Amino acid sequence: MTIKRMILGLLTLVVIILVSTALVSSWTKPQIQSQLQLYQTNILLQAAEWQVPEGEKLGSTRNALIGEQPVKTALTQYQEVRQSAQKNLERLSAPLTPLSPESELDPKLGSAPVRRSPQQQLQSLINQLDLRLGILHASSGQAAVALQTWQGLIAQPESSELTQTAAVLSGLWSDPPRLLPDAEQQLSSSLKGWFRYQALTQLYQLQQRQDALVQLQAAEQEMARSALSRLVIVGGMPVLGSLIGIGLLIVWLVRQVTSQKPSPLSPSMVRANWPVPWERETIWQVVVLWFIAFFGISLLVVPLAVQLLGLNPATFSPRAQTLVALFSYVGLVVAGLSILYFCLRPFLPQPLSWLRINWKGNWFWWGLAGYLAALPLVIVVSLVNQRLLEEQGGANPLLEVILQSRDGVTIAVLFGMVAVLAPFFEETLFRGFLLPSLTRYLPPWGAIATSGLLFAIAHLNLSDVLPLTVLGMILGFVYLRSRNLLASMLLHSLWNSGSFLGLLILGGGLN
């Protein structure tokens, strides 16, 4: 064994340990899918308050999107998420550190994010759910259940804004009512969206403030109409895209069965189109060095740079978190392209020219069709995955930043990362280099599956492995069939952009 292979072997062992540790660690973290569903539920509650003006024929559309009993539906969904969160909290055996008062409610723009353990995050989520569950019960005519729910929050030893809000709400729905000082200010600052309107409506009715109630109802109608539009985008567009995607998949399957021509993905045709002059060791070297660069930048370079600049990550605002993530990702792109260049230079006079990028041809339609076909497949796999992992497996930390973002600079930087940088670099590495390289040693579908799995593992979240493997396989299929990296880049960009837009819309569900 050569010294080079010994070093690669040691580095491979380091990568396996680091990746395994990250995946195991993600198991203790809750998935974000159930919380995303609640964001959509909040929009549904807002839209349900819209009263169709006379003369407008939108009642059927409204009812189709919202359903017959939106509050009951929301109550059921909140209870399911609450039960799941409680189950996950009980699963964690470590003792729970008391929450600080300021860590109870969602951080506002510009505030410092509080670093919390998984137990603290789950307990904070449960407390927020209980506060809103009480309002849902009260709005459903179950005041006794609401009071009991809020009493559990009030009885907590640590006083916080959340416990104070629970006390105000408990007073509003008590018999006789108790109006606490600064009730309006407390409700306005700590509640959002539909929940704030419900609480303030109850307060104004008890105070007999008719003018304030009329203004509140007018604002609520404006918000409800906007929420209905957002609901159409968030709920309707994926369904429409999935239906088109199912149609495309059926057409493709029929053609595969009835076609008499040799498959474009036959091993001989693929290897003829992608002659690979390097051996297994080069593939091994590129993948291992990329993972080492990834962990080196995220675990050493970025923390060291932050420390040298005298910054405290615990005080970072969402914009600061985003800029640090941008710096880290740009460093990873530079490192990754450099690794590709120097590893492939002995085999090619211009290593990066080996990538198939051609602005002519039908790459756009391949990318668009691939995106539509990916929608139903990834959605179904994600739902199955959510059940299998029982809401565990972690999530990309940037998702929460996107959900909370209201700053134009932060949104622009995040969009540039997910819609431009990530598709360019990840497609260059996983489809441009890795996939064709694997076709020398594996059948095309084996190469597609292997590159898709490595693509998913590189995201270091257990909850992402199955869905992103499926997405990675679709990206690989589109690249091999179109023979143009622009097609898979477009598909990747459309996927990330759609997810990003959906998160932005959902993030407005409580505002």
Q: Return the pLDDT at 382.
A: 87
Give the range among 83-92, 391-400, 403-412 with minimum mean pLDDT: 391-400
**Structure tokens that stand for 110 in this block:** 């510009």
**Does residue 42 share a domain with residue 172?**
yes
Q: How far apart are CA 214 and CA 218, in angstroms?
A: 6
- Is residue 238 situated within a structural domain? no
Q: How far apart are CA 143 and CA 305, in angstroms?
A: 54
**One-character DSSP codes across 191-219:** --HHHHHHHHHHHHHHHT-HHHHHHHHHH
- Is residue 280 situated within a structural domain? no
Res. 397 pLDDT band, cuts 50 70 90? low
Domain range spanning residue 101? 31-230
- Is residue 415 situated within a structural domain? yes
Angle between helices 318-344 and 408-416 (to 10 degrees): 20
- Is residue 25 situated within a structural domain? no
- Is residue 325 situated within a structural domain? no
Q: Is the pLDDT of residue 424 over 60?
A: yes
**Structure tokens that stand for 488 in this block:** 């898979």
Q: Decide if 170 contacts 147 (C-beta within 8 A).
A: yes
Mean pLDDT of the chain: 83
Q: Return the pLDDT at 105.
A: 40
Domain boundary among 187, 208, 230: 230
Domain boundary among 174, 205, 230: 230
**Helix, strand, or coil (residue 392):** strand
Q: Return the pLDDT at 99.
A: 45
**Does residue 359 share a domain with residue 226?**
no
Q: How far apart are CA 321 and CA 315, in angstroms?
A: 10
**Does residue 166 share a domain with residue 35?**
yes
**Does residue 40 share a domain with residue 168?**
yes
- Is residue 287 situated within a structural domain? no
Q: Per residue in 198-254, pLDDT tens?
A: 999 999 999 888 999 999 889 888 888 888 888 888 778 888 999 999 999 999 899
Specify the number of domains making up the chain. 2
**Does residue 218 share a domain with residue 77?**
yes
**Does residue 193 share a domain with residue 54?**
yes
Domain boundary among 230, 246, 268: 230
pTM of the model: 0.81
Q: How far apart are CA 482 and CA 476, in angstroms?
A: 10
**Does residue 72 share a domain with residue 205?**
yes
- Is residue 93 situated within a structural domain? yes
**One-character DSSP codes across 144-163:** HHHHHHHHHHHT-SS--HHH
Q: Per residue in 143-201, pLDDT tens?
A: 999 999 999 888 877 667 888 899 999 999 988 888 888 888 889 888 988 899 999 99
Q: Looking at the chain, how many residues does it have?
A: 511
Cis bond leading into 436, ω under 30°?
no
Q: Return the pLDDT at 100.
A: 43
